[in-house]
Amino acid sequence: MSKKKMSILDFKKYKEEGKKITYVTAYDYTMASIVNDSDTEVILVGDSLGMIMLGYSGTINVTMDDMIHHIKPVVKGAPDTFVIGDMPFGSYNESIEQAIHNCSRMMKETLCDAIKLEGGAKYAPMIKELVKAGIPVCGHIGLTPQTTTSLGGFKVQGGTPESAKQLIEDAKALEEAGCFGIVLECVPSVVGEAITKAVSIPIFGIGAGPHVDCQVLVTQDLLGMYGDFKPKFVKLYAHIREEMVRALNEFHRETEEGIFPSEEYSFNKKVEIPE
């Protein structure tokens, strides 16, 4: 089944039309091609690959080279899906020059469609320059996993009137700076709704309730593949990990019992073997 790839202009248009889209992660060719076969509109190659693919405890030690290595096969595997590459910690927060250099490098080397970076209003001047340099930028506010230590851990954000107001100001500043959309992570539903109403660019919510413009989940979470941790906002749409373990155990049992490979799975050409 083929679908039409979204263009950057569709994001605002879909919000105006009230069309809800989905945005999931992929970190390799096979998963990207599976997502590409689905109705999903957007793939994020998130720095969550640090945990999901590399077994790290967080995202801090993910590098530009890690990201580029994983984005390239995703772009190849998902030609009909809009692909966003995530900027890793430390790759854009030293200076505007560093941000332009690394964001351009990510787009040039991977041919992804856009980049995402974490941070609120204080990153607006830098985002303005990135957009001026021709780089489509997706913002990310609320729970920002790269700075969870400063936020005091993986906690719901915007839980007080002041912090909710600050998030609204952040979203407005990111829109003003030229972001085409904003990931909003882990906030109360009412805050998700208020931020969605406050800006004209789409809000991509993950743990941000039902009133946002788009729902985001990590693919390995929603498919029930990642066994280490399940946040409250993750709904399991499948139990693929159990199915994978079951299949591996069946292969193991059939091998032990000499059932596999049967004739069907063997090359049965007769060959005279010399003595």
Q: Which residues bind ligand KIV (CB under 6 A)?
A: 25, 44, 46-48, 86, 183, 185, 206, 216, 218
Q: What is the Cα–Cα distance from 18 to 155, expressed in whole angstroms?
A: 29
Q: Is the peptide bond before 261 cis (omega within 30 degrees of 0)?
A: yes
The amino acid sitting at 225 is M
Catalytic sites, residue numbers:
185
Q: What are phi and psi of 72, to 5 degrees?
A: -55, -55
**Minimal distance, residue 248 CB to ligand KIV, in Å:** 26
Q: Which is nearer to ligand KIV, 185 or 213 (CB)?
A: 185
CB of 212 to ligand KIV, least distance (A): 12
CB of 25 to ligand KIV, least distance (A): 5
Of 53 and 260, which has the nearer Cβ to ligand KIV? 53
Q: Whose Cβ is closer to ligand KIV: residue 87's or residue 124's? A: 87
Distance CA 151, CA 143 (A): 8
DSSP type of residue 88: P
Question: Which one, 74 or 218, has the nearer CB to ligand KIV?
Answer: 218
**What is the chain's length?**
275
Of 217, 163, 172, 152, the C-alpha closest to 190 is 163
Distance (Å, rounded) from C-alpha 202 to C-alpha 100? 24
Cβ 271 to ligand KIV shortest distance, Å: 52
* 65 or 250: CB nearest ligand KIV: 65
Name which of 197, 99, 187, 183 is nearest 141 in CA terms: 183
- What is the Cα–Cα distance from 75 to 78, expressed in whole angstroms? 5
Residue nearest to ligand KIV (CB): 46
Q: CB 49 → ligand KIV: shortest distance, Å?
A: 7
88 closest CA partner among 52, 36, 46: 46
